Amino acid sequence: MALIGFAATTLGLSAIAGAQEVPVNQDLQRNVNQEQRIDNGMRDGQLTTREASQLEQGQAHVDRMEQRDLSRGPLTGQEQTQIQHAENVQSRDIYRDAHNSNEGNPNSASSRRMQADVQRDINQQRRIDNGVRKGSLNNAQTARLEGREARVDHMERRAGANGYVNRNEQRHVQQAENRNSRAIHRNKWQGR
């Protein structure tokens, strides 16, 4: 009898734990904040193009985690904790790179290209966040859009890996961002 009571209690607790959904928008707002910190670091010369590109790889990692977890439905507490841990690691990496002895040239053509790409990331993440807040994007749509953003972050990583972003590399990143922009628009208006 005690075993049956234990099993019922365990099932009840696991059902409650599984039912606890975590809002997505706090993660999306943190994505915006992290991208803004990278942009600010480039604009004031605290981050080099290479450092910014490496940080974009960290952003891609967080976006992929969000994509994976949201594609399964609402975030659970455990998934939220894992995402927050990855965001904390990314935050420390941004701080470390912005406060080391390396200095970037914010006025170089390469830095301006990377700055433009990062600024576009900020805008796209804001649009996704606004769509979630207003209820025009569901979890599956948000997951797909975060996956697209991860691909762009990865492209930015490759473009700046050598410390220089040329026009052709930026053109490819911008084309991907244009496709993402259309996908965000399409997904936000799909259900209306």
Number of helices (H) and strands (E), helices first, in the chain?
A: 7, 0
DSSP 124-144: HHHHHHHHHHHT-S-HHHHHH
Is residue 37 a part of any domain in this protein? Answer: yes
Average pLDDT across the chain, whole number: 89
Kindly report, residue by residue over 156-166, the tens digit of the pLDDT: 999 999 999 99
CA-nearest of 190, 177, 184 to 145 is 184
Q: What pLDDT does residue 146 have?
A: 96
- Distance separating alpha carbons of residues 25 and 119, to the nearest angstrom: 19
Is residue 67 a part of any domain in this protein? Answer: yes
Is residue 59 a part of any domain in this protein? Answer: yes
- Distance separating alpha carbons of residues 76 and 139, to the nearest angstrom: 12
β-partners of residue 75 are: 22
Kindly report, residue by residue over 128-146, the tens digit of the pLDDT: 999 999 999 999 999 999 9
Q: What pLDDT does residue 19 have?
A: 42
- Please give the average per-residue pLDDT across 31-54, as a whole number: 96
Higher pLDDT pick, 7 / 140: 140
pLDDT value at 14 more than 50: no
Is residue 5 a part of any domain in this protein? Answer: no
Of the pLDDT bands very low, low, confident and very high (cuts 50, 70, 90), residue 54 is very high
Split into its structural domains, the chain has a count of: 1
Is residue 118 a part of any domain in this protein? Answer: yes
Kindly report, residue by residue over 67-106, the tens digit of the pLDDT: 999 999 999 999 999 999 999 999 999 999 999 999 999 9
pLDDT value at 15 more than 50: no
pLDDT value at 59 more than 50: yes
**Which residue in this structure is represented by tokens 């859009």?**
145
Dihedrals phi, psi of 148, to nearest 5 degrees: -65, -40
Q: What pLDDT does residue 22 have?
A: 52
Q: Give 69's contacts (C-beta < 8 A, 6+ positions apart).
A: 75, 76, 79, 82, 83, 143
Token pair recorded at residue 118:
């990062």
Higher pLDDT pick, 54 / 22: 54
Helix axes 109-134, 167-190, angle to 10 degrees: 10
Is residue 1 a part of any domain in this protein? Answer: no
Domain that holds residue 85: 23-190
Is residue 145 a part of any domain in this protein? Answer: yes
Is residue 15 a part of any domain in this protein? Answer: no
Q: What pLDDT does residue 8 have?
A: 45
- Distance separating alpha carbons of residues 84 and 75, to the nearest angstrom: 12
